[in-house]
C-alpha cells in the first residue's frame, strides 16, 4: 500500500510539473532569492511545488554534514475536514496544504497544541501568538484547551520560563488575554469570557503591583518572546537589570490586553472595571509614544535600559513595531513611516536591527517566520505593497527551501543551520504561514458579532482564489476572490450584493464571491538594507576619579552619559570626572545606526552611599517572610535602594524560581524587589537586585522586605533567596528624565 501511494504521488508530481511548465512568472525577487509561481530559487538551489501536496528542495547548506537528507514534504494527514484552498500559484497552494498538514501534527491527543516537533507541550506566548494568527478559527477547541492549560493553581496566567526564573523578569504572559479575546470573537462563546475573566483580573492585579513602573507608566520586563538575556541585551545586564528595563513589544502586548480586558468587562456588565482597564490602556499608550517613539528614525525604540537612569536602545524591534501598528498604538502617519523606515534585510525583517556582533544566531541575527507574519499583517494594514511582498516572500522562501515550517533562520544567509536551537513543524510559524491566505489575501477580520473582509492582494499575485468549507460559527462558507488590490468592487452572498461582512447569526452553507477593483495600490517605500552589526560595547572602569575604557574597533568617537543624559562626545578613551553620578560610554560609528550599546553604569562618588550588612539571611515562604533593617541617613533626598543577594535555584535562562518581595519603608509599601536566579546550585554567586527610588527625610527609618500574595512566583512552591546587604545611594537633585 505504501509503495502504491508513493508511486501515485510520483506520477501526479510529474503530471503537475509538466502542467505548470511555461506558466512560471517572477512574483518577487531580491539579491538573495527569486520567488516564482511554483518555486523558490536561492543560490542555484530550488524548492519547488511538485503538486499541491508535495514540495521538494535540492538545497544543500554549507554547514550540512555528508549524508544529511534533502528537504521534502509530502502530505501525511487527512486535511479534507479543513478549508480547501486553490489559486493559480502552485507554490502558494502547496505551502498552504503543508501548513494544514503540520497543524494536524501539532494537535496533541488531549486536544492541545504542541509547540513544535522538538518542543513538547503548550507554551503561553507561542500558543497565544498562534491563536491570534490563525488557530482561533482553524483549531478553536484545541486553542481553548491550550489556553486553559496555561492557568496555574492560583487561577492566574502562567509565564513560561525566561530570564532569571520567569515572571516578573519575563512579563509578556498577558498576550494570553489577547488570544482569549480573539477566540471569543471567532466563536461568540459567552461562557468562555465569563469563565476567564477572574483569571484575567487576578493576573492584571499582580502585574499592576509588580511590573508596572510608577515613574514612566510603562511595563517592566524583557522583550516579548525574546527570552534569552544574552540574545538581545548588552552582556553587563543582569536579570534584575532586565526586569527594570521597559521593552517595546511587551508594552504593546499589555496595552492590547488592557483594551481587551475592558471589552470583556463591558460585555459582562462590569462597567467600573471596563472604565478602569480602558483608562489604564490610554495611559500606557501615551507612555509608549512618549518614551519609545524616535522621530528622527521614524520607528519605535527597542527598549529603555539602565540602572538608576533609563536610556533608549535605538534599535528597531520587528514584533514590537508590528504590534504598535496592529493595535493602533501608532498614529496613521506613524504607521506608514514605520513600514517605510524600519530596516529589513533580504531574507526578511530580522528580530531587531542592527545585530549584536559578539553574540550567536538565534534571536540575534535571526528571522522568525511568526514575527514576519505580524510584520506582514502590519504592512497590509498600512497598504505597503512592497513590504507585504517582501514579507510573504520571506515566509514562503523558508517554507519552500526547507519543506517545513521551521522556527527561525540566520539573517545573514537564510539557513536554519547555525541557529542555536530550532525545530520543524513549529506552531507559530505554521500559524503565521496560514494567516497569509486568511488574513491577507482574503482579508478576514473578526469582531464580536461578525466577520469582515479587507483583502490585500499585491498586483503580482493577481488571480482567482477559492477557499471552500470555511466554518464560521454556524455557517459554512465557500469563498471565491478574484483580482488584485485593496478595494472590494463587489461582494455577494449567494449571488446577492451586500456589504463585505458575514454576520455571526448566519447559519448553513453559503457561497461568497469577492471581486477586487484591480486598482493599483499607491506605492510606499521599503527600507531594504545590508545586514549589519553594532560596535562592541565599551568595557569601562573608574580608577582614581578617571573613567577609562579600551579602544573599540571601528569607533569614530565616544559619547559619555552621565545620569542617563548625554554629557559630551570625544575621541579619547578616558575622562577625568568632576561630579558625582552614574556614568556610561557609547562607542560611535561613522555609520550611526551601528553605534554600540551603552556600557555598564558605574557610580562615582565620595559620599552618599550607605550599606547595611544582613549576614546571609535566607528568605522563603516558610521563614523570614518579613525582615526589617533599621537605617539612619544624614541628608534629605531621593535614594536608590537595592539589595545584594544570591539565588542558586536555577540558571539565568531557565526555570521559574525568581524570588519576589515587597519593599516597605516606614510601613509604606513603595514597590517590588525581585531576586532573580543567577546560577544553578551556586549560592556564592551574588548580585544586586533591582533599584527602587524613594524620597527619605534625614534621620532614622525602617526598611523591610515583606512577602504577600502578590509576590507568588510561577513556581509557587519555591520562592527564596539569600540576602547579604542593603544599599542606599543618594541620587542627584536634578535627576534627568529618559533621554
- Three-class SS state of 346: coil
Rounded to two decimals, the pTM is: 0.96
Q: How do 355-356 and 533-534 pair as beta strands?
A: parallel
Q: 321 lies in a domain?
A: no
Q: What is the pLDDT of residue 3?
A: 43
Instruction: Quote the pLDDT of residue 230.
Output: 75
For residues 149 and 257, membership in a common domain is answered with: yes
Q: What is the residue range of 663's domain?
A: 609-730
DSSP strand pairing (546-549 vs 540-543): antiparallel
Domain identity same for 582 and 617: no
Alpha carbons 539 and 555: distance in angstroms, whole number: 13
132 and 216 in a single domain? The answer is yes
* CATH number, domain with residue 672: 2.60.120.260
Question: Does a structural domain hold residue 344?
Answer: no
Is there a domain that residue 652 lies in? yes
**CA angle, 714 as apex, 709 and 719 as ends, to 5°?**
65
Instruction: Say whether both 505 and 563 belong to one domain.
Output: no
Mean pLDDT of 487-510: 98
Is 619 domain-assigned? yes
Closest CA to 299 of 346, 331, 253: 331
Give the angle 429-433-439 at the CA atoms, nearest 5°: 125
Determine the Cα–Cα distance for residues 503 and 449; give it in Å rounded to an integer: 6
Instruction: Answer yes or no: is pLDDT of 679 > 90.
Output: yes
Confidence grade of residue 353 (pLDDT, cut at 50, 70, 90): very high
On whether residue 174 sits in a domain, the answer given is yes
What count of residues does the chain have?
739
CATH code (residue 471): 2.60.420.10
C-alpha cell at 395: 515566509
Tell me: do 570 and 488 sit in the same domain: no
> Closest by alpha carbon to 687, among 678, 674, 698?
678
Question: What is the pLDDT confidence band of residue 435, given thresholds at 50, 70 and 90?
Answer: very high
Rounded to a whole number of angstroms, the CA Rg of the chain reads 27
> Which residues are CB-contacts of 269 (< 8 A; sequence separation ≥ 6)?
none
Q: Are 393 and 28 in contact (CB under 8 A)?
A: yes
All residues at 6 or more sequence positions from 648 whose CB lies less than 8 Å from its CB, including other chains: 677, 678, 679, 680, 681, 682, 683, 685
The reply to whether 723 and 581 lie within a common domain is no
CB of 515 closer than 8 Å to CB of 548: no
- If we measure between CA atoms, which residue out of 12, 100, 24 comes closest to residue 56? 12
Among the three residues 550, 568, 596, which one is the final residue of a domain in this structure? 596
Q: What is the pLDDT of residue 739?
A: 45
The label of the residue with cell 578613551 reads: 573
Measured distance CA(293)–CA(251) in Å, rounded: 13
Rounded CA gap, 713 and 441, in Å?
Answer: 43
Q: Which of 240, 270, 293 is the last residue of a domain?
A: 293
Q: What is the mean pLDDT of residues 128-154?
A: 98
Instruction: Report the interhelical angle of 332-341 vs 369-382 (nearest 10°).
Output: 130
d(CA 197, CA 309): 36
Neighbouring CB atoms inside 10 A of 418's CB total: 17
pLDDT band at 9 (very low <50, low <70, confident <90, very high): very low
Residues 644 and 618 sit within 8 Å (Cβ to Cβ)? no
pLDDT grade, residue 16 (50/70/90)? low
Residue 706 confidence (pLDDT) above 90? yes
User: Quick one: cell of 154?
Assistant: 492560583
182 and 289 share one domain: yes
Distance between CA atoms of 296 and 292, rounded to whole angstroms?
12
Measured in degrees and rounded to the nearest 5, phi and psi for residue 650 equal 175, 170
CATH of residue 273's domain is: 1.50.10.10
Outline where 188-222 has alpha helix (H). 190-210
Residue 384: its pLDDT value, please? 98
Determine the pLDDT at residue 345.
98
Q: How far apart are CA 213 and CA 200, in angstroms?
A: 20
Quote helix, strand, coil % in the chain, to nearest 5.
Answer: 30, 30, 40
Band of the pLDDT at 227, cuts 50, 70, 90? Answer: confident
Q: Tell whether 502 is covered by a domain.
A: yes
Query: Residue 207 in contact with residue 258, Cβ under 8 Å?
Result: no
d(CA 710, CA 702): 22
Asked if the model's pLDDT at residue 4 lies above 70, the reply is: no
Q: Stretch 243-271: mean pLDDT, rounded?
A: 98
Name every residue whose Cβ is closer than 8 Å to that of residue 41 and which is 6 or more positions away in sequence.
33, 34
Please, are residues 121 and 114 in contact by the beta-carbon 8 Å criterion? yes
Among the residue ranges 418-422, 428-432, 720-724, the one predicted with the least confidence is: 418-422
pLDDT given at position 23? 73
Sheet holding 26-29, edge to edge: 26-29, 34-36, 39-42, 45-51, 54-57, 71-74
- Whether 327 shows a pLDDT value over 90: the answer reads yes
481 is a domain residue? yes
What's the grid cell of residue 317? 524591534
- Contacting residues for 568 by C-beta, under 8 A, at least 6 apart: 559, 560, 575
Residues 275 and 213 grouped into a single domain: yes
**Cα 22 from chain centroid?**
42
CA 81 to chain CA centroid, Å, is: 32
- Domain check: are 626 and 586 in the same one? no
Are 127 and 272 in a shared domain?
A: yes
Compute the distance between CA of residue 470 and CA of residue 480 in angstroms, rounded to an integer. Answer: 11
Measure the CA–CA gap between 596 and 116, rounded to whole angstroms.
35
pLDDT of residue 15: 45
Together in a domain, 472 and 563 = no
Do 467 and 512 belong together in one domain?
A: yes
- The Cα–Cα gap between 164 and 150 comes to 20
Q: Judge contact between 376 and 395, C-beta under 8 A.
A: yes
- Is 313 part of a structural domain of the chain? no
Quote the number of domains for the chain.
4
pLDDT at site 7: 44
Assigned C-alpha cell, 84: 480547501
**What is the residue whose three cell numbers read 479575546?**
181
- pLDDT, one tens digit per residue, over 297-319 is 999 999 999 999 999 999 999 99
**pLDDT tens for each residue of 159-191:** 998 899 999 999 999 999 999 999 999 999 999
pLDDT the model gives residue 403: 98
Strand partners of residue 489:
none
- Higher per-residue pLDDT: 369 or 67: 369
Tell me the pLDDT band of 22, cut-offs 50, 70 and 90: low
Count Cβ neighbours within 10 Å for each residue of 108-122 and write b for 16 or more, e otherwise: beeebbbbbbebeeb
Query: Which of 293, 323, 345 corresponds to the end of one domain?
Result: 293
What is the Cα–Cα distance from 305 to 297, expressed in whole angstroms? Answer: 19
Integer CA distances (angstroms), 674 to 243, 264, 712, in order: 8, 31, 11
User: What count of Cα atoms within 13 Å lies in the side-chain half-sphere of residue 668?
Assistant: 7
Q: Locate 184 and state its grid cell.
A: 471569543
Q: What is the pLDDT of residue 63?
A: 87
Amino acid at each position: 500500500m505504501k509503495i502504491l501511494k508513493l508511486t501515485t504521488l510520483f506520477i501526479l508530481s510529474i503530471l503537475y510539473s509538466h502542467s505548470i511548465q511555461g506558466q512560471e512568472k517572477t512574483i518577487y525577487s531580491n539579491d538573495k532569492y527569486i520567488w516564482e509561481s511554483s518555486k523558490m530559487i536561492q543560490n542555484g538551489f530550488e524548492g519547488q511545488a511538485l503538486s499541491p501536496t508535495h514540495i521538494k528542495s535540492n538545497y544543500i547548506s554549507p554547514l550540512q554534514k555528508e549524508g544529511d537528507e534533502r528537504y521534502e514534504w509530502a502530505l501525511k494527514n487527512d486535511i479534507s475536514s479543513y478549508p480547501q484552498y486553490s489559486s493559480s500559484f502552485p507554490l502558494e497552494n502547496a505551502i498552504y496544504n503543508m501548513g494544514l498538514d503540520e497543524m494536524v501534527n501539532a494537535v496533541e491527543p488531549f486536544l492541545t497544541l504542541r509547540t513544535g516537533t522538538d518542543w513538547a507541550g503548550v507554551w503561553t506566548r507561542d500558543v497565544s501568538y498562534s491563536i491570534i494568527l490563525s488557530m482561533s478559527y482553524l483549531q478553536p477547541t484545541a486553542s481553548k484547551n491550550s489556553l486553559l492549560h496555561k492557568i496555574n493553581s492560583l487561577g492566574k496566567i502562567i509565564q513560561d520560563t525566561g530570564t532569571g526564573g520567569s515572571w516578573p523578569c519575563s512579563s509578556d504572559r498577558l498576550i494570553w488575554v489577547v488570544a482569549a479575546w480573539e477566540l471569543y470573537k471567532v466563536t461568540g462563546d459567552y461562557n468562555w469570557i465569563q469563565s476567564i475573566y477572574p483569571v484575567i483580573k487576578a493576573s492584571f492585579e499582580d502585574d499592576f503591583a509588580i511590573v508596572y513602573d510608577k515613574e514612566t507608566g510603562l511595563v517592566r520586563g524583557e522583550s516579548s518572546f525574546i527570552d534569552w538575556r544574552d540574545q538581545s541585551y548588552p552582556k553587563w545586564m543582569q536579570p534584575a537589570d532586565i526586569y527594570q528595563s521597559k521593552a517595546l513589544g511587551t508594552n504593546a502586548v499589555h496595552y492590547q490586553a488592557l483594551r481587551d480586558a475592558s471589552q470583556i468587562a463591558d460585555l459582562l456588565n462590569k462597567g467600573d472595571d471596563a472604565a478602569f482597564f480602558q483608562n489604564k490602556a490610554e495611559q500606557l499608550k501615551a507612555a509608549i509614544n512618549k518614551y519609545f517613539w524616535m522621530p528622527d528614525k521614524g520607528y519605535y525604540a527597542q527598549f529603555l535600559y539602565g540602572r538608576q537612569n533609563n536610556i533608549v536602545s535605538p534599535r528597531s524591534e520587528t514584533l514590537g513595531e508590528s504590534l504598535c501598528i496592529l493595535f493602533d498604538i501608532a498614529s496613521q502617519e506613524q504607521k506608514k513611516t514605520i513600514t517605510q523606515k524600519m530596516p529589513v534585510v533580504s531574507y526578511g525583517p530580522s528580530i531587531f536591527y542592527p545585530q549584536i556582533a559578539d553574540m550567536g544566531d538565534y534571536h540575534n541575527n535571526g528571522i522568525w517566520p511568526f514575527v514576519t507574519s505580524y510584520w506582514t499583517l502590519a504592512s497590509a494594514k498600512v497598504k505597503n505593497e512592497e513590504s507585504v511582498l517582501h514579507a510573504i516572500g520571506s515566509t514562503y522562501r523558508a517554507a519552500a527551501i526547507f519543506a517545513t515550517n521551521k522556527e527561525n533562520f540566520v539573517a545573514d544567509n537564510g539557513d536554519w543551520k547555525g541557529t542555536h536551537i530550532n525545530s520543524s513543524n513549529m506552531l507559530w510559524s505554521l500559524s503565521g504561514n496560514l494567516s497569509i491566505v486568511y488574513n491577507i489575501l482574503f482579508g478576514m477580520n473578526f469582531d464580536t458579532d461578525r466577520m469582515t473582509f479587507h483583502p490585500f492582494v499585491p498586483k503580482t499575485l493577481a488571480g482567482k482564489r477559492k477557499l471552500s468549507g470555511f466554518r464560521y460559527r454556524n455557517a459554512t462558507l465557500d469563498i471565491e476572490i478574484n483580482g488584485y488590490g485593496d478595494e472590494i468592487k463587489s461582494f455577494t452572498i449567494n449571488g446577492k450584493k451586500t456589504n463585505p461582512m458575514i454576520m455571526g447569526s448566519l447559519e448553513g452553507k453559503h457561497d461568497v464571491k469577492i471581486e477586487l477593483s484591480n486598482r493599483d495600490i499607491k506605492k510606499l517605500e521599503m527600507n531594504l538594507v545590508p545586514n549589519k552589526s553594532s560596535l562592541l560595547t565599551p568595557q569601562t572602569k573608574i580608577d582614581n576619579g578617571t573613567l577609562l575604557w579600551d579602544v573599540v574597533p571601528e569607533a569614530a568617537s565616544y559619547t559619555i552619559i552621565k545620569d542617563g543624559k548625554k554629557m559630551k562626545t570625544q575621541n579619547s578613551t578616558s575622562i577625568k570626572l568632576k561630579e558625582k553620578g552614574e556614568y556610561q560610554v557609547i562607542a560611535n560609528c561613522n555609520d550611526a545606526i551601528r553605534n554600540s550599546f551603552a556600557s555598564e553604569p558605574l557610580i562615582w562618588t565620595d559620599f552618599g552611599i550607605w550599606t547595611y550588612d544582613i549576614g546571609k539571611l535566607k528568605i522563603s515562604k516558610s521563614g523570614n517572610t518579613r525582615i526589617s533593617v533599621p537605617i539612619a541617613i544624614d541628608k534629605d533626598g531621593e535614594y536608590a535602594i537595592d539589595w545584594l543577594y544570591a539565588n542558586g535555584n536555577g540558571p539565568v535562562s531557565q526555570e521559574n524560581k525568581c524570588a519576589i518581595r515587597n519593599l516597605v519603608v516606614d510601613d509604606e509599601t513603595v514597590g517590588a524587589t525581585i531576586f532573580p536566579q543567577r546560577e544553578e546550585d551556586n549560592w556564592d554567586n551574588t548580585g544586586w537586585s533591582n533599584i527602587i527610588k524613594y524620597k527619605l527625610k534625614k534621620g532614622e527609618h525602617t526598611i523591610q522586605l515583606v512577602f504577600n500574595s502578590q509576590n507568588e512566583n510561577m513556581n509557587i512552591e519555591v520562592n527564596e533567596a539569600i540576602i547579604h546587604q542593603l544599599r542606599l545611594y543618594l541620587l542627584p537633585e536634578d535627576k534627568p528624565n529618559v533621554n
